[in-house]
Every structure is written in C-alpha cells, then in structure tokens.
Structure 1
Amino acid sequence: MDQFTMLARKEEDAQRHQKPAATDAKQQGGTAMDLSGGDNKQLWTRVKKRLWASVGEDVFNSWFARLELVELDGDLAHLSVPTRFLCSWILSNYQDRIIEAFQGENQDVQTLQITVRVNGQVQTKQTAKQDEPAAQTTPTPKVSATIRTGAKHNARIKQGDALSGSALDPKLTFDTFVAGSANEMALGAAKQVAQAVAQNAVTFNPVYIHSSVGLGKSHLLNAIAWAAGGADKSRNVVYLTADHFMYHFISAVQRQSAISFKEWLRGIDVLLIDDMQFLQGKSVTEFGQALSALLSGAKQVVVAGDAPPNGLEMLDDRLRSRLSGGLVVPIRSLDEELRRAIVEKRAEQALAKYPGLHIPSQVLDYVAKKVISHGRDLDGSINRLVAANQLTGEPITIDLAEKALHDLMRTRDTRRVKIDEIQIMVAKHFKVSKPDLLSSRRSRSVVRPRQIAMYLSKMLTSRSLPEIGRRFGNRDHTTVLHAVRKVEQLMSEDNGFAQEVELLKRMIED
C-alpha cells in the first residue's frame, strides 16, 4: 500500500468517526440499500476491470479501489467515494478514463457524477435534500455529429444509436499547449487548420501529425476540435480515436446500416482521427473510402499516428499515398527547455486550483531534468507532487520529488541497444532483408539502408568502428566511418532524410 492510499484512508476513517452513524437509513435522509441491481453490479465489476487494466494495479488501488456504484440512470453513472479530496482528484484527473471504461461496456453512459459518502451513507439524486450540498456533476464533453441520411435508411438507426465522436478533453486546448522547437511546426499547422475552418476554408489537406507516445498529438487534435467547433456550432466537427471508428463501423455492419454510416461520414465537415496505427482490418478500407470522399468534397481531415504514413504497414498503397500527399508533420522528442516550460505551465494550472500551493523553481528544474520520457509523465509528475502535498501537508521539495517520482525517473536509464536490433529495424523499414545489409551488394536500395544502420550503430551503441564493421559482413572500420559521415552530410542537406533517420532512432530506442 503506497503513502497516498494510506493517507486517503486515514482521512476516510477520520470522517467516519466525526459522528456515530444512524441505524436507520431514512433518519439520515439517504440510503444504504443496494441501488445498482444485479445486472449493474456485474457491469460495474467489468468496468473496474477495465480501469485496472488501463491505469495499472498501483494507481487503481490508490484512487479507484473505494469507488462504489450508486446507480445508473439513463446516460448518467452515479458513483460515490469516502472523501472530498478523492472526489475532487478523480473528477480532475480520471473522469475521462472512467467514462471510457463505462462506454466499453455500455455506450449509453455519457455523464459522470461522483458524491461523497457521509458515515457510509450516500444519497441518490431522487432522495437528496435541497439543503444539502449539490452533488458534483461533470458531463463529459464531446463533439457530436448529426446523422445525414435519407428517409429510406433512417429506420435502421434506433434511437440511442446515434453516431458521435469520441469524448474530448476540455483541458486540451491551444491555450494549454506548450510550444517549443520540438512541436512548433505541428502547432503552427494545427492553428492554421483551425483558423481556415473558422473561415469556411480548407488549408493543407490532409494533415498528418506523427510522433511517439505522449508528445502532444492528441492534444493538438482536441485543440483543433474545440477551436473549429466553437467558431460555428452548426459545423459538423468529429474527433474519433481509431478504436472508436472501428466500433462505429462494426456496429453499422451488425445493424445492417452500413449505408447510413457511410453517409454520416460523408456529412462530416472536419474529421480528426487519432491513433491511426490502431486501425485494423476492413475498417482501414472504410476509412480510405471516407478519406477520399471527404477530400474530394473539400472537407478538412487531420490524422495522428505514431509513425509517418510510409511506416504504417496496415495501410494499402492508395491510402498511404493519400496521407503522404498532404502535410506530414513530425513532433520530436522534448528537449529540457520544453520540458521545463511544460512543468511550469502545469504548476501554474495547479496553483489556480489549489490556492496557497507552492512548487519551488528548483523542484521544477529537477523534474524537467529527471523525467525525460514524454509529456504525460511530466503532467503526472506535477499531479503526484500536488497530491503528496495535499494529503500529507509536506512542503514540495526535491526530497519529496525524489520519493514521489522515483518510478518515472527510471525512464532516464537508457535501454541498451543491440546492433542486431538496429539491423532488423532498418531492414524492415526499408523493406530489404537483413542478409542484404550484411552482403556485398552495391545497389542503392541496399547501400543507403546499410549506411544508415551503421550510423545508428555508432550513435546508439558503445561499439567501436572495427567491431561495427565486423557485424556488417566483416567490413573495414574505414567503411563504417565513411557511412557515418555520409549519413551526417545527407541529414544536414535534406530535412526529410533527417526526419526519417530520427524516426528510426526513436523507434529503436522505444
């Protein structure tokens, strides 16, 4: 049991002993009865399993273990927790995760309500007294889409099956996005798309943003959706994760309403697809057809993935060409200056929520230097420091940061990369065989990948030039040195080539 869980439970025990619990539930104006029903109990068990799989055992035990289902009423999921701090923390940091977990079992759930249990009792909204504090209710924001179908097909779509986008995060806007050298091009493209949409125009189309995990792709897509949708409420802006797109497609096939689904896609004004790498099966073909129709109709499309289009193996040549034909923008790894700006911004946001909170600049410097994996870990670092301060009253210091962020700092230990891994990754990327890289073949299709593999072996391992040469078919060390210098020259002259090598480097390091 970690320190946060222990302290939260102490708070729960203290609240429980403030006054004796009444023996009659009606005397308290509430009820201790099981309100969820057998079916909903089973659903809640499945939802908790999804949460556990999503956040991991430690986080689940700290924040979700004492969540209880009170009732399900239409699109509302009403939960309860034992303390006010736990209620506030979950609503601030995990409400989207909970909604997603519910929707994985029941798509009707759209809104989350969390109330604080008093002396083990909780009130449903039907029995709540008017003089008691209002329950904290936070609807999940979403951009919904109107189904534009002919009368012939309307009957196939039942009420409640209306197609909609994935949930948007209200915190992910352009105002909260922290810019730096690693993401300035992607941010500029995203803002230009949003401005053009607001003027009923289309700029670069499609736009494809790629990076490794946690560097801001989803943030930019959410920001475009908020900006484009806010400018004109009638505009049909849809943000979809790849798994949500596949869910809609599979559901349409099962309901025999595929035609309505296609017409809904063609009626979208701005389509934002996230996590493109997870799109699989026939839904890839469906997306390709929708993309062609939207581009032909001059509708804006923005896609995000963890690799550029030519690095996504599940795409066919036509779809890969369509995506590559637009604006392809990378987001690079965060440098220390940008990491420092991000933690400072998150600290300012935390201060607005918790007046009196103080995070010294030395601690922010320490976090930016030590937590180097990605932006979500930086956000999580500030959240942990705030939680530790609020739960224990301990001032935020470097010592506290060392204790609270120990596991996040492990990511600083660079994984030991092997030359064999580099050869396999480069061969796969350039669609040549590993034996070709080690052979004496001199064709350009083999020489360039071989030089890149030698360059990456020099950059990512501690092996000497002679040893690298031996691993590449017993070549002389001067051959390796020539390859390294050649790749460096090409990277300085060709930005596209430099991006490709940088992508390979990130993929190998990950």
Structure 2
Amino acid sequence: MFQRVRARLRAQVGEDIFNSWFARLELEEIVDGKAHLSVPTRFLCSWIQSNYADKILEVFKSENSEIGRLHLTVRVNGQPVKKIEKAAEIAVEPEADPAPQAKPQRDIAAPRGDALAGSALDPKMTFDNFLPGASNEIALGIARQVASAALNGTVSFNPVYIHSTVGLGKSHLLNAIAWAAGAAEPGRNIVYLTADHFMYHFITAVQRQSAIALKDWLRRVDLLLIDDMQFLQGKSATEFGHTLGTLLTGAKQVVVAGDAPPRDLEMLDERVRSRLSGGLVVPITGFDMDLRRAIVVRRAEQAQARFGVHFPPAVIDYISRIVVSHGRDLDGAVNRLVAANQLTNEPVSVALAERTLADLVRAREARRVRIEDILRIVSRHYKVPRNELLSSRRSRDVVRPRQIAMYLAKSLTSRSLPEIGRRFGGRDHTTVLHSVRKVEQMMKDDADLTQEIELLKRMLEE
C-alpha cells in the first residue's frame, strides 16, 4: 500500500518536490488507524509536519479509509526512535495542535566535545567497510589523507569537495572521515551535517534570535563535513558561505559532498562556488563491472551469514551485469532475492533473479537517450543557451560545448551523422564527423575533459 501512497504523492507534488521531501519517508507500521512514518533527520520531520501532513493523510485515507492519524519519528542509524524520549518524536495529528519542538535525541555515538549535536553518524560507514575500485580510489585516498591530517590537528587539502550522482559513496566517505578523525573521542570538535540539518539549525537560530551563537558554534569546529550540498538554499546557503570563509581563514578543515560540481550549484553565491572550486574537487565516477561485483559479493556474504541464503556465482554475475545505476540498487537487488527466497523457499538462481529483478532490466532497456536530452544537459552544464548550440556562432565558449554535444549524440544515440547534423541547426554530416573526431582527440590529451564527458554520459543515462 505504501508504494501506492508514494506514487500518488509523486504524481501530486511533482518529481522534484517528491525527491526533496518524500524520497526518504518510510512507513514503519499501521496500528489502530494510525500510520507511523519515519524520516532520517529532524529538519525533514519538522518540514513535513508543517507543510505536508494534511496532504499525506489525505493520500493514506484514499488508500485506506480507516487511517485517521499520522505519527512521524526521526530515524537514528536507520532505525526509528520510538518510546525513548518524547523530544525525539513529532506527532502529526491534523486535528490537534502540533507538539512543541524540542532538542532532538542525540545518538550516543555522535560527535562530542564543544560542538553541538550534528547529524547522526552511521557506525557502519567506515573506511574498513568502503569497497575501493577504479571509480572511487582517488576520492578514497583523499578522504583518508584528510582524516589523518585532522586526527593530527593539521589541515590537508581545504576545502575538499566530493561529487557524484546518488548512491556512489559520498555519504559513506564523509562518515568514514569523521570516524577516522576521532568523532567518537571526547574533545574532538568534529561535526557532520546534512544540508537539511544545517538549514534546520539556521532556521531555528533565526526564530530564536540566536544566529550569532550558531555562527560561533560553527566557527569553533575543527572539522566540518556538509553532505547533500545541492539541497542547501536561501539564507542557509548565504550563511554557509560566510561560515566557509571563516573556517578557511582560520585554517579549519571543510569537506563538502554534492551531486554536481561546484559550478553547477546555482543556489549558491558565486563567491561560495568559487571557494569550493578553488579547493580540491574530487569526482566519483560510475561503478565498473569489477566494483559492482565486489559489492554484490560482499552483500551476498552478509546475506548468507545472516539468513543462510546462498548466492551462486552465476547469480552474482547476473546482478553485477544488469544493475548499473548505483550501489543502493545493488543492495536492493540482493535484498529482493533474499526476500523471495524466504517467502517461497525457492533457491536463489538466475531464473529467480530474472523474475524478481525484471523491472530493473526493463528500466535499463527502456532508457533511450534523445538528442533533445543531450541539448538540455549540455546547455545546463556549460551554461550556454540551447539556441546558441544550434546557432552559427563560432566563439570558443559555444563551439566546444556544441562539439561535445555532437560527440554525445553520435556515442549515445543510433542517429546517423546527417540526422545529427539536421538536429544541430541544419549542419552538414562532415561538420558532425569533424566535431566527433575533434572531441575524441581532445579526450586523449585531456584527462579532465574525459572525466567531464563521462559525467555528462552518466547524467544522460540515469
């Protein structure tokens, strides 16, 4: 039922709003007409209560008329906090006044010392549990170096900005840095904050007229880790810019993670983007076959130890081959097969995997890159208007993105050179061929351009 509720919410509010506020909403149970839901942060809990409680309840009622109330809790380390402390919960009762907000329950393993409570760290996200591969080895090496420097009270690269699409390990690395730098030790001034948690702190400080205290708190931090930077917006983004400048001036270490390079974070002030770009920008590219297989092997071993479910090598190879999006989907594929085995007692086999994971195969096959998609992504990435890409302008800031767009059209679509030329403002097929060969040569000579084009490909294939 909850999947239908999520589908209805997605249809009503749109993809962007759903991904921002509801993607991490989970149903824990339904008891006595009350739906118990959970979210990972206090900020999401407060925001959903204030803005979407009635809408969520309405959707639940449309699926089950007996549901008349909602109850929202904050998850700590993946588990909903229940009956531990009243302050850790927010009740969503549309017919009653909302409960007063209080300080969120702090995880016992959260960073201690002079800093206030940040977002909860996941004890499973350490360097020991991070699987290295060609796509993430540079990011892993930098993360280890930053953690080692912070542990010794020095500063390594600053700021460090790690970016990738979802599910490739950014949050894992930030958590691992915090743990390795001594987050569990008294006196260590280490704070890990998701962007929505940062926004919650800022909004609360403004409401309580304690913004100066917030600034003082952040500026006393020795290691600040900000996750999901793309969700930072409004005055919170401005405040982060001021804080970033102060931390860098004071030689404090800052590590930030986001889903796009700094130059594409349009919600941030140009000076903040420049500061982030001027540090060490580290991309994590899509997982190759070897890394995907290593992840599946690790998850399969855990499934066998916990549930006694055996994954034959052929099934591991099958999952590694068809699930190419990100690590979370690999985890989900293994979990689905474990569930199928537990429910049907059918041994895990390729045939069972084909039936259970059919939607992942269809989703992969259904994705067809269109030239229109390429024009949109390239235009946004290089901040060149679409009509300029199709025009006859010959300035360098237009020619290079246009050539890259033509190269992507030849690489990712089945269109012929004449067809591509017609779609790019009526150009001759020889012009398209020249552009493709030009980009191929530039990629051989420029590793940064190769990574940039790989990023564009991942954006188009998602």
Q: TM-score, normalised by structure 1?
A: 0.71
Partner residue in 2 for 1:321 = 274
Contact 2:369 2:460 in 1 (8 A): yes
Does 2:161 match 1:208?
A: yes
Contact 1:269 1:299 in 2 (8 A): yes
| CA displacement at 1:418 relative to structure 2 | 1.9
Q: 1:365 aligns with which of 317, 320, 332?
A: 317
Partner residue in 1 for 2:256 = 303
Q: How does 1:122-201 map to 2 (within 5 A)?
A: 141-144=109-112, 146-147=114-115, 163-201=116-154
CA distance in 2, matches of 1:299, 1:94: 28
| CA displacement at 1:351 relative to structure 2 | 3.2
Does 2:394 match 1:442?
A: yes
| CA displacement at 1:448 relative to structure 2 | 0.8
Question: In structure 2, do the counterparts of structure 1 residues 175 and 322 end up closer, same or farther at CA, with 3 Å as the change threshold?
Answer: same
Q: How does 1:82-161 map to 2 (within 5 A)?
A: 96=78, 98-99=80-81, 108=103, 110=105, 141-144=109-112, 146-147=114-115
CA distance in 2, matches of 1:96, 1:178: 20
Could you say what secondary structure the match of 2:254 adopts?
strand
Does 2:406 match 1:454?
A: yes
Could you say what secondary structure the match of 2:127 adopts?
coil
CA distance in 2, matches of 1:499, 1:509: 15
Q: 1:413 aligns with which of 354, 365, 368?
A: 365
Could you say what secondary structure the match of 2:133 adopts?
coil
CA distance in 1, matches of 2:23, 2:165: 19
Does 2:315 match 1:347?
A: no
Could you say what secondary structure the match of 1:376 adopts?
helix
Q: Deviations over 1:174-203 (max 9, x none)?
A: 111111111111111111111111121111
Could you say what secondary structure the match of 1:287 adopts?
helix
| CA displacement at 1:65 relative to structure 2 | 4.2
**Whose Rg is larger?**
1
CA distance in 1, matches of 2:258, 2:159: 13
CA distance in 2, matches of 1:215, 1:411: 19
Does 2:272 match 1:277?
A: no
Contact 1:194 1:228 in 2 (8 A): yes
Question: In structure 2, do the counterparts of structure 1 residues 54 and 107 end up closer, same or farther at CA, with 3 Å as the change threshold?
Answer: farther
Partner residue in 2 for 1:76 = none
Could you say what secondary structure the match of 1:142 adopts?
coil
CA distance in 1, matches of 2:289, 2:157: 31
| CA displacement at 1:103 relative to structure 2 | 5.7
Contact 2:170 2:257 in 1 (8 A): yes
Partner residue in 2 for 1:238 = 191
Partner residue in 2 for 1:428 = 380
Q: Report sequence identity in percent.
A: 63
Contact 1:249 1:258 in 2 (8 A): yes
| CA displacement at 1:442 relative to structure 2 | 1.2
| CA displacement at 1:144 relative to structure 2 | 4.5
| CA displacement at 1:350 relative to structure 2 | 2.9
CA distance in 2, matches of 1:97, 1:231: 20
Q: How does 1:24-103 map to 2 (within 5 A)?
A: 53-54=22-23, 60=27, 64-65=29-30, 96=78, 98-99=80-81
- Which moves more between the two structures, 313-322 or 263-272? 313-322
Unaligned 5+ segments in structure 2 are 3-17, 37-74, 92-100
Contact 1:339 1:375 in 2 (8 A): yes
Q: Deviations over 1:200-228 (max 9, x none)?
A: 11111111111011111111111111111
| CA displacement at 1:267 relative to structure 2 | 0.9
Could you say what secondary structure the match of 2:154 adopts?
coil
Question: In structure 2, do the counterparts of structure 1 residues 145 and 69 end up closer, same or farther at CA, with 3 Å as the change threshold?
Answer: farther
Instruction: Letter of the 1:465 partner, please give it.
Output: L
Contact 2:323 2:330 in 1 (8 A): yes
Contact 1:238 1:270 in 2 (8 A): yes
CA distance in 2, matches of 1:383, 1:226: 27
| CA displacement at 1:387 relative to structure 2 | 2.9
Question: In structure 2, do the counterparts of structure 1 residues 362 and 140 end up closer, same or farther at CA, with 3 Å as the change threshold?
Answer: farther
Partner residue in 2 for 1:81 = none
Question: In structure 2, do the counterparts of structure 1 residues 144 and 69 end up closer, same or farther at CA, with 3 Å as the change threshold?
Answer: farther
Q: Deviations over 1:22-72 (max 9, x none)?
A: xxxxxxxxxxxxxxxxxxxxxxxxxxx99x94467xx84xx64469899xx
Contact 1:229 1:236 in 2 (8 A): no
Aligned length: 394
CA distance in 2, matches of 1:257, 1:438: 52
Q: TM-score, normalised by structure 2?
A: 0.78
The Cα RMSD (Å) is 2.9
| CA displacement at 1:376 relative to structure 2 | 0.4
CA distance in 1, matches of 2:443, 2:413: 20
- Which moves more between the two structures, 222-231 or 242-251? 222-231
Q: 2:416 aligns with which of 459, 464, 476?
A: 464
